[in-house]
Every structure is written in structure tokens, then in C-alpha cells.
Amino acid sequence: MNAKRTAGHRMTILAPEGMLGYGIPPRSMAEGMKRNPDALGVDAGSTDPGPYYLGAGVPFTNRRAFKRDLAMILEAAKTRRIPVLIGSAGGGGGTPHLEWTLEVYREICRERDYHFRTAVIGAEVDRGWLTRQIARGRTSPLDLDTPLTAAEVNRSARIVAQMGFEPFMRALDMDAEVIIAGRAYDPACIGAVPLRAGFDPGLVIHMGKILECGGAAAYPRHGSDSLLGFIEEDAFVVEPPNPDKVCTVASVAAHTLYEKADPYLLHLPGGAIDLTRTTFEQINPRQVRVSGTRFVKAPHYTLKLEGVRRVGYRTLAIAGVRDPILISQIDAYLENIRQRVAETYPDGYRLIFHVYGRDGVMGRLEQVKEIRAHEIGLVIEVVADDPDTSAAVLALARSAGLHVTYPGRKAIAGNLAFPFSPSDLKAGEVYEFNIHHLVVVDDPLELFPIEIVET
């Protein structure tokens, strides 16, 4: 990168919030816009809410909240004529997620008579292409020891790749005013504008890492909020536009740890940033200056793949147990239910008891072996290949749970307290992550088609 181009220059990016649809505080947005940002960048996705949303092709944010936030951002962008970059649209960043985002976006534009030159960037991965990359030895596991196989690719319900900065920069080259991108490396929506302007990639990416979570790097850390980033030639500064919050060395440095396996080396498409020489400096009570972060280019450009497979259909029931005689023998009681169910349905399903008050939260990691509670919460879960089997097995487990007897039983009318009628809740399709791998590409743009649409 050409440092001379940025000498004496400064660029301001506003991240209105850390997750599009979680609620932008209007005062933060107004204060942020007073600082004349050069671009608005907002991340809309995550794998954190689990595999369902990518698989089912639905967002994890509420439509009304999402529309409100997006309308606020578009209004600000229109007033100041600055670009808007949205990454991982619709949460999962697949094609249905992009379509959902576009539908809401078009509705806002129609209602408010907004006209933006809009770039839409796809991020779904073609199974045939990926299978060929496996054959060429271009894929490798990430955090798992299992290599990717063609069979696993074919079992996937949906596969996306996290795009880097390059597709966003190309869309800016195409004069896009609004960029709605599928699955993207979270900092890309923040960093594409300053990176394209020639600012140091190590600093841009690190600033993107902090801003993509919005106000999370400011204290007090509560609620969804905004964050400003000011990038210069040899450092960047972060500041919360919310006057009730501050960025401190502790808040910014601690955020660098968040959700990362190793805070000194953060991998990204095409390389990594190295934080071993990074310094965090409090320059006034509300601003932290960060410098020294270096970009390390990788020998091969790799993209992270995310995929999920459907593993069945879930039905569940929630119940409480208050009887101390039953609680004292809960394991035998649950095993009895399992056997009763197996007499009618020998296989073809998974029956799981989540026992809150025993190990419902930590499962096999739980080290407290005895039950200390006076009541326990029971979630009875069935996952089966089809919804009817799932419902039938759950119904039997629930009725057996209510009526099965046990030694010393006094409460012969029923063993479970159900908080709801109906007791049996259909939870729909169940997905699991099955692809979490890297793939080498020759061209950072090759998986991400850019389409210009009119609004």
C-alpha cells in the first residue's frame, strides 16, 4: 500500500451498530453523523446463533427492528451522500438471506422514494465447484481435524464463503452507493472504503475488527450502540458517539480478545493481522489510539467456508419437577421413560433430556454431580428424520414422563408440571454445522458475483 497517499489524511467510518437490526440508539446515530463520516459500515451476520438460520435460509433478526435500523442508516447516507456497506446480509449471508434483505431494502426505498445505485454480492458456494477444489487438494480443515469430503459437501443444505475486502472494493469501483453483501469477513464492511483509499491494511483491518461489533468496545457495555473510527497514516482512533460511554484502553484491548482463539494473530481472507507490536493509548477520556498492528500477507489467498446439514426435525416439551422423592431418583426415572418409548419406537430418533438443575447448561462438562436444587426443569427433546415421527415419539415420552411410576411415589396423579398447553412444541428443522474449512482461490472475487440493481 502506498503510505504517501494517506500522509496527512484522515478518514472517518461510523459503525451505527454491531448487528443490523439490534437497535441503533437515535442519539448515537445523530452524534456520529455530526462527525462527518466518509462511510457507514454495518455487519449483519454471525454463526453465533447456531446452524439453523444458515440452513433454513431465514434471518435471526426481527424484520421490524431490521427495517427500522436500515431506514435510519439509509436516511443518514442519503443526507450526507456517503456509501453504505452491509456485510453478511440477513445473518447467514446466503442467497435467501440476501433476497430477504433486498425485499426489506426495496420496501424502504419505495416508501421513502430513495434511489441508490445498489450492488448486491452473492456468497453461496456451488457444490460442484467445491467438490472440484477438494479433488485438487485446495481445501483444509479449520478448528476440526476432519478433512472436507465430497460426500459432506453433497449433504450440506447450504454453503457460504466469507468474502474479503476485495468484492466490496470492486463494488465501490462500480460506483455503488449501497452495497448489500452476502457472507463476509466481519471487518470488510468497515474497512473496504479506507483500504481502497490506500490506508495501511494492518490498521484498517484492526479498526474493522473493533468497529464491526459497534459499541461493544466502549464502556459501559450494554445495549446495541454505535462506534466511530478515525484512521490516519500510522494509527487509528476509536470513540463512542454516545456521550454516556467511553473507550478505554481496557475496553478496546479486551474487545480484541472477544470471540477470538488467539488475540495476537487474527486470520482473514488473504492473510492475518499481527498484534504483537500493537499499542493502545488513551489520548483523552473518551478516545483510544491504536497503532503498530501489522498485516501479514498469506502465501495463498484462502476463504473460510461455512456449511450446515439438516439432521432432522425437532419436537420438544418443557416441564418442571418439584417432588423431592422423584428428584432423588431422576436418572432412573428418565431411563424408565426411555425404555417405555423404546418398546413402541425401537429406533430412528434421538430422545434427549435436558435436565436443568443437574447439568442442563454444561452437559458432560458439568463437574457438580449432585442436584442441589429443590426443583428441576426438564426439556424433553426428540429429533427424528421426519416431523411426524418426531411428534409421535415426543408425545409418548411426554405421557410416559407424566405417568410412569417410581419407588416411593406419593404423587400418583402425575410427575410433571407443564407450563404450557399445548405441551408439545414443534421446533421445525434441525441443522448442524458440517463445513468449517478453508479453500484456496486464485482470485478473491471469483466466488462472489456482483450485480448492480436499481431501486
Partner 1 sequence: MRRTIGDIAAFVTSKNAGPFLLTLDIVFPDRATYERFKALKALDRVTVAGLYGVMAEDVLKIIEFDPAHAVKITMRRAWGSGAVGEGDVYGAQQHVPLMEHAVPWEDA
Alpha carbon 364 to its chain centroid, in Å, reads 25
One residue of 151, 261, 412, 413 binding partner 1 per CB under 8 A = 261
Q: Please state the closest distance from residue 430 (CB atom) to partner 1, in A.
A: 6
Instruction: Tell me whether residue 31 or residue 381 sits nearer to partner 1 (CB atom).
Output: 381
Instruction: Tell me whether residue 146 or residue 405 sits nearer to partner 1 (CB atom).
Output: 146
Q: At CA 93, angle to CA 91 and CA 99, rounded to 5?
A: 95
Instruction: Tell me whether residue 113 or residue 145 sits nearer to partner 1 (CB atom).
Output: 145
Q: For residues 278-306, b (16+ Cβ closer than 10 Å) or e, as one string?
A: bebeeeeebbbbbbbbbbeeeeebbbbbb
Residue 312, beta-bridge partner list: 430
- Name 234's Cβ contacts closer than 8 Å, sequence gap at least 6: 200, 203, 291
Could you tell me which of 352, 347, 358 has the C-alpha nearest to residue 337? 352
The C-alpha cell 488513551 sits at 282
**Size of the residue set binding partner 1 (CB under 8 A):** 45
Residue 12, beta-bridge partner list: 230
Phi and psi at 57, nearest 5°, equal 75, 30
Q: Are 183 and 123 in contact (CB under 8 A)?
A: yes
**Among the residue ranges 74-82, 192-200, 230-238, 346-354, the one whose residues contact partner 1 (CB under 8 A):** 346-354
**Among the residue ranges 19-27, 128-136, 147-155, 258-266, the one whose residues contact partner 1 (CB under 8 A):** 258-266
**Among the residue ranges 24-32, 88-96, 165-173, 356-364, the one whose residues contact partner 1 (CB under 8 A):** 356-364
Q: Please state the closest distance from residue 394 (CB atom) to partner 1, in A.
A: 14
Could you tell me which of 29, 32, 172, 182 has the C-alpha nearest to residue 92? 182
Q: Which amino acid is at 81?
A: R
Alpha carbon 258 to its chain centroid, in Å, reads 13
Distance CA 297, CA 106 (A): 38
**Among the residue ranges 43-51, 111-119, 147-155, 173-181, the one whose residues contact partner 1 (CB under 8 A):** 43-51
Does position 253 interact with partner 1 (CB under 8 A)? The reply is yes
Instruction: Tell me whether residue 361 or residue 452 sits nearer to partner 1 (CB atom).
Output: 361
Does position 433 interact with partner 1 (CB under 8 A)? The reply is yes
265-268 and 236-239: which strand pairing? unpaired
Q: Please state the closest distance from residue 126 (CB atom) to partner 1, in A.
A: 22
Q: Please state the closest distance from residue 21 (CB atom) to partner 1, in A.
A: 17
Residue 181, beta-bridge partner list: 121
Q: What is the maximum alpha-carbon separation in the chain?
A: 83
Burial label, 102 (beta-carbon count in 10 A; 0-12, 13-18, 19+): middle
C-alpha cell at 381: 427433546
One residue of 257, 370, 372, 407 binding partner 1 per CB under 8 A = 257
Contact positions with partner 1 (CB under 8 A) in 12-41: none
Q: Please state the closest distance from residue 48 (CB atom) to partner 1, in A.
A: 6
Phi and psi at 424, nearest 5°, equal -95, 120
Contact positions with partner 1 (CB under 8 A) in 270-329: 275, 278-280, 311-312
One residue of 5, 110, 111, 258 binding partner 1 per CB under 8 A = 258
**Among the residue ranges 76-84, 107-115, 157-165, 260-268, the one whose residues contact partner 1 (CB under 8 A):** 260-268
One residue of 354, 375, 387, 418 binding partner 1 per CB under 8 A = 354
Q: Give the contact letters, 88-107, x = binds to partner 1 (CB under 8 A), - = no.
A: --------------------
Give, as one character, the DSSP assignment of residue 191.
H
Does position 223 interact with partner 1 (CB under 8 A)? The reply is no
Beta strands in 66-169 (DSSP E): 84-87, 118-121, 139-141, 156-161
One residue of 7, 332, 362, 373 binding partner 1 per CB under 8 A = 362
**Among the residue ranges 15-23, 186-194, 207-215, 432-440, the one whose residues contact partner 1 (CB under 8 A):** 432-440
Does position 454 interact with partner 1 (CB under 8 A)? The reply is no
Q: Are 406 and 333 in contact (CB under 8 A)?
A: yes
Q: Please state the closest distance from residue 261 (CB atom) to partner 1, in A.
A: 4
Instruction: Tell me whether residue 32 or residue 187 sits nearer to partner 1 (CB atom).
Output: 187
Contact residues toward partner 1 (CB under 8 A) are 47-52, 142-144, 249-250, 253-254, 256-264, 275, 278-280, 311-312, 350, 352, 354, 360-365, 367, 381, 383, 430-433, 436
